[in-house]
Amino acid sequence: MTLTRRAALGALATPLLAAPAVHAQAPTEIVFNYPIAVGGPIPRIIDTYVEEFARENPRFRVKPIYAGSYQDTLTKTLTAMRGGDAPQIACLLAADIFTLIDEDAVLAWDDLPGAERPWLDSFYPGFLENSRTGGKTWGIPFQRSTVVLYWNKEAFRTAGLDPEKAPSNWAEQAEFAQRLTLRQGDNTTQWGIQIPSSGFPYWLFQGLTTQNDARLMNQEGNRTFFNDPKVAEALQYWVDLSNRHRVQPPGIVEWGTTPRDFFERKVAMMWTTTGNLTNVRQNASFPFGVAMLPAGRKPGSPTGGGNLYVFKSANPAQREAAVRFARFLTTPERAAHWGIQTGYVAVSPAAFETTAMKEYVAGFPQAAVARDQLEHAVAELSTHDNQRVTKALNDNLQAALLGRKGAQPAMNDAQAEAERILRAYR
């Protein structure tokens, strides 16, 4: 073989040898654990965001895992982490902040390249209240909410109430509910109000305690104030709606079925998450209103919903992907789109300045209620060992609502259990 021919063959062979190196640059993949706790087409929206992110960021891929309720998602995420197979990013309750830190599971966003302070400070302060602790940002607000009041305007008109005016305080709430409760003999065909006491009883209850000017925990998450007389007073008001005023179903009111009861006209007013706003808009066959929760000593609601957390299991490339994905999800335009499509609160003031959100609010003013309520909002109950502390409160709330304990004794028992659990963290 001549030198010229060998050189020609070598020139042909070189690209063939180099080609595998080009194909080896596979995108960095991150697993995104995501909870589904409210009905609607949310998985399709998330899938669309994931596809858009991949087009804009070809070096990265996001694999969403839909893991059930918030509690299911937390349990599955921590179980996977202990088995060495944690996701790189997850949407979990903002209230899980201390649990995730105590498990040494997550990284502070401040310490990640690309997570500059202007972005970290761009969210509503009410949502950052339980996204930060110890001077660090541990959660990025994404799927956030407050509790709001929904009412059936037709039912109000039938009862002789102004259909455009929601109750503004506790006394009006009880009075309106009495006028809205309809009975045929011993059968109640329409209840005046439902405040759910299953699923997230502590969260709905925190609306009442905030309105009664009481805090349930300290900022460090190592003390609770369940036995404060103002907390027991708030619980007594809740109990009285059923036992004294007879305007709410007795016993436990189900979280999951309350919106359906509203659609079916079995209840005229309900407390639930603003995350149900789109669900109500699509399924209510009557005109409805949305308002801030009625005030006690003051107006108020807890914030709620999910933050984005990045896990220590992520390698440097995956951490870069997680930051890029979080920033992608929280751009003003996308946060506005998310709020419009789901009913959750767009998490930044900039989102409400977008053209899309301005037009939406102009045509559907109810969408701004939860945002406006943020001025009066407090952080959702969040402590170290939060699952056990919350269970202690939930169990005693339900005991009082079922008539097994008085309001103050129930809160004394909840506080005693919380003290036992949290003593180790002080």
- Each of the 426 residues of the chain gets a pLDDT tens digit; together they read 443 433 443 443 444 444 444 455 799 999 999 998 544 588 999 999 999 999 999 999 999 999 998 999 999 999 999 999 999 999 999 999 999 999 999 999 999 999 999 999 999 999 999 999 999 999 999 999 999 999 999 999 999 999 999 999 999 999 999 999 999 999 999 999 999 999 899 999 999 999 999 999 999 999 999 999 999 999 999 999 999 999 999 999 999 999 999 999 999 999 999 999 999 999 999 999 999 999 999 999 999 999 999 999 999 999 999 999 999 999 999 999 999 999 999 999 999 999 999 999 999 999 999 999 999 999 999 999 999 999 999 999 999 999 999 999 999 999 999 999 999 999
Domain count, the chain: 2
pLDDT at 41: 80
- Domain of residue 105 covers 28-145+304-372
- Whether residue 3 lies inside any domain: the answer is no
Of the three residues 353, 372, 391, the one that is the final residue of a domain is 372
* 138 lies in the same domain as 150: no
pLDDT at 2: 40
* 167 lies in the same domain as 297: yes
- Whether residue 287 lies inside any domain: the answer is yes
* 393 lies in the same domain as 266: yes
- Whether residue 13 lies inside any domain: the answer is no
* 90 lies in the same domain as 35: yes
* 314 lies in the same domain as 286: no
At 310, give phi and psi (nearest 5°): -110, 135
* 155 lies in the same domain as 211: yes
- Whether residue 8 lies inside any domain: the answer is no
* 132 lies in the same domain as 61: yes
pLDDT at 25: 77
* 83 lies in the same domain as 57: yes
* 113 lies in the same domain as 243: no
- Whether residue 52 lies inside any domain: the answer is yes
* 348 lies in the same domain as 391: no
pLDDT at 40: 52
**pTM summary value:** 0.89
* 130 lies in the same domain as 111: yes
pLDDT at 19: 45
Q: For the domain that residue 225 is a member of, what is the CATH number? A: 3.40.190.10
* 105 lies in the same domain as 139: yes
- Whether residue 355 lies inside any domain: the answer is yes
The partner residues of 141 in beta bridges, in order of sequence, read 307
